[in-house]
């Protein structure tokens, strides 16, 4: 272990027995070698392993502006909503295999 951390064996032994604290470079090497968070190692805060660190999900881009506009209009103009739904149902009947294949990709 001393060799992996880049310290001499006697220094590592003194660290292990609590006689001396490890140097910062030793802690850095330990964290990198075992993928351990320095926050956890030094402060006992957060997850131990870096892979456990939660990442914020990226926001989805949302629908395009023309789709937003159409949805807003469909809420205000009922005939537009019914025409769009009628077209959608006709399209599903006419192109059933293509629609099912597209839905299977989700």
Is the confidence at residue 54, as pLDDT, over 70?
Answer: no
* CA distance linking residue 43 with residue 45, whole number of Å: 5
Quick one: three-class SS letters along the chain?
Answer: CHHHHCCCHHHHHHHHCCCCCCCHHHHHHHHHHHCECHHHHHHCCCCCEHHHCCCCCCCCCCCCHHHHHHHHHHHHCHHHHHHHHHHHHHHHHHCHHHHHHHHHCC
Q: Give the predicted TM-score (pTM) of the model.
A: 0.45
> Given pLDDT bands bounded at 50, 70 and 90, which one contains residue 13?
very high
Is the confidence at residue 37, as pLDDT, over 60?
Answer: yes
Amino acid 55: pLDDT: 61
């Amino acid at each position: 272990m001393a060799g992996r951390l880049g310290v001499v064996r006697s220094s590592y032994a003194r660290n292990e027995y609590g006689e001396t604290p490890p140097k910062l470079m030793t802690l850095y090497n330990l964290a990198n070698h075992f993928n351990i968070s320095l926050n956890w190692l030094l402060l006992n805060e957060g997850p131990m392993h870096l892979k456990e660190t939660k990442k914020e999900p990226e926001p989805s881009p949302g629908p395009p502006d023309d789709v937003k506009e159409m949805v807003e209009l469909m809420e205000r103009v009922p005939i537009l909503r019914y025409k769009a739904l009628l077209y959608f149902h006709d399209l599903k009947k006419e192109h059933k295999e293509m629609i099912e294949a597209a839905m299977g990709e989700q």
